[in-house]
A = this chain, B = another copy of it.
Amino acid sequence: MAHPVSPLAPKTYPELPTIRGVRFATAEAGIKYKNRTDVLLVGFDEGTAVAGVLTRSKCSSAAVDWCRAHLPSGTARALVVNSGNANAFTGMKGRKSVERTAELAASALGCKPDEVFLASTGVIGEPLDANKFEGVLEDMASRFTEAPWMEPARAIMTTDTFPKLAEAEVDLDGQVVKIAGIAKGSGMIAPDMATMLSFVFTDAPISAKALQALLTRHVATSFNAVTVDSDTSTSDTLLAFATGKADGIEPIESLDDPRAESFGAALHDVLFDLALQVVRDGEGATKQVAITVDGAVDDASAARIAKSIANSPLVKTAIAGEDANWGRVVMAVGKAGEPADRDLLAIRFGDLLVAEKGERAAGYDEAATSAYMKNQELTLGVSLHLGNGEATVYTCDLTHGYITINGDYRS
C-alpha cells in the first residue's frame, strides 16, 4: 500500500559519489512487496574495515544478532539487506535463514560467510525464506555497479515515502576522502542506543577500531537524537564500511590521530543528515520539530527531558493542529522524572518567549505564537536554569496519517 509522499520530502536528491572499493546491485526477490526492488547486495574490496551500532532491544532480530557476533573481526566483504521481512522473533528458523543468506552471498562473491553483514526490515515474526535469495545474489554479483546510489536507497525502503541519501567530502593529507550514506526508516523510530537501518560507505583508510569509536561518538547526536513514535525497533542497525581505497593517505589508526577529528565531523554530517531525513519521513509527519533543552543538571538529563517532550502524544498532536499549546510542554517536562524546578522554567517557540519563571511570559503574544506554529520547521526551547546540561532532539508531529498507516500496515 502506497502512502502519500511526506510533505517534508526533499525537493531534490543529492547525487552521491562513487566510493572506490564499493559496488552494488538491487533485485526483486518477492519477499513481500510486488513490482519493486527488495534486496540490496553490496560488495567490498579486500581490506575493508567495518564498524556498527546495533539496537539494544532485548528482542533483537536474527540479522542484528549475526552482525553483533561478527563486528569484532572488523573486516567486511559484503552487505545483504532485504526489506519486507525483519526476520525478527523467528527463533531457530531465523538463525538458519541468516546463516543460509550469508553462505549464498559468500558463494556469489568468493568470500567467507563471516565477512558478510546482514540487515532485514519489515514485519516482525514472519519466517524469512532464504532460499528466495538462491540464484538472485549470484545474478546480482554479476551486474555490480558503482552508481547510481538511488537504487540501493530505494531497495531498503518499507513504509518510507522517499529514499534517504547523504554525502560528505573531507580533505586528508591533501587528498579528498568521500563518504556516502543511505538510510531507511519512517515508523518504529526511537533509536535509543543505535538507529534504524543505515549504511555509510567511505574510501577513507581508517582502522575498524577508530571507525567504531567515531561512529559511537557521533550516533549520540544524530540517530540517537531523533524519535518518531517512541517505539524502538528490534532491527536498528547502523553499519559503516571503509574501503581504504583513497589514494596517498596514511591510515587513521586511532582517535589520537588529529585527522580523526575532521573525518569524524564529516561522518557526523552524513549521519545527522540521514537521521533528520528519517524524522522528515516520520509516518504521517507534516512538521519537523527540534526540541532544545538547556540548563539541565547534565546532558543526559537534558536529553531525557527533550525525549519526554518529543514523545508526548499531546505535544505532537498540538503541533499537528498548529496549536501553541505550551502547557503540554510543561506537562511533558513535569512527567520526565528528571530534576526540574517549575518556578524557574522558561519555554520558547522559535524566538518567542511564551513562559518564564513558572508562568505565562509577561509579553506573551498569542497571535504571533499561533502564526509561528504554521511553519513547517519548528523549534521548541526549554530552559531549566539548574545547570549546564543541554541536548537537542528531533521529532515530527502526530497526525491522522500515522493512525491510517499503522492501523492496517500488516494486514
Contacts and interface: CB of A to CB of B under 8 A. Distances in A.
Nearest to A92: B359
Contacts of A357: 91
B327 A88 contact: yes
A230 interface: yes
A317 interface: yes
A31 interface: no
Given A317-B403, A360-B125, A58 B187 contact: no
Q: Give the top 3 A-B pairs by smallest Cβ distance, nearest first.
A: A124-B327, A91-B359, A59-B334
Contact of A358 (B89, B328, B336, B399): B89
A32 interface: no
Contact of A318 (B336, B345, B406): B406
A158 to B, nearest CB: 13
Interface string A343-366: 101000000000101111000000
B336 A58 contact: yes
Given A231-B332, A314-B188, A335-B231, A403 B406 contact: no
Number of copies: 2
A321 B60 contact: no
Contacts of A311: 230
A330 interface: yes
Contacts of A256: none
B59 A231 contact: no
B230 A312 contact: yes
A249 interface: no
A233 interface: yes
20 contacts: A55-B334, A57-B335, A58-B339, A58-B341, A86-B327, A88-B327, A89-B345, A89-B355, A89-B359, A91-B357, A91-B358, A124-B328, A125-B330, A127-B360, A230-B230, A230-B311, A234-B330, A317-B402, A317-B407, A323-B409
A408 B317 CA distance: 8
A60 B60 CA distance: 38
Interface of A: 55, 57-60, 86, 88-94, 123-127, 187-188, 190, 192, 229-234, 311-314, 317-318, 320-321, 323, 325-328, 330-336, 338-343, 345, 355, 357-360, 398-400, 402-404, 406-411
Nearest to A407: B321
Contact of A406 (B90, B317, B331): B317
Most chain-B CB neighbours within 10 Å: which of A55, A125, A321, A410?
A: A125
Contacts of A190: 335
A334 B60 contact: yes
Contacts of A403: 317, 320, 398-400, 402-403
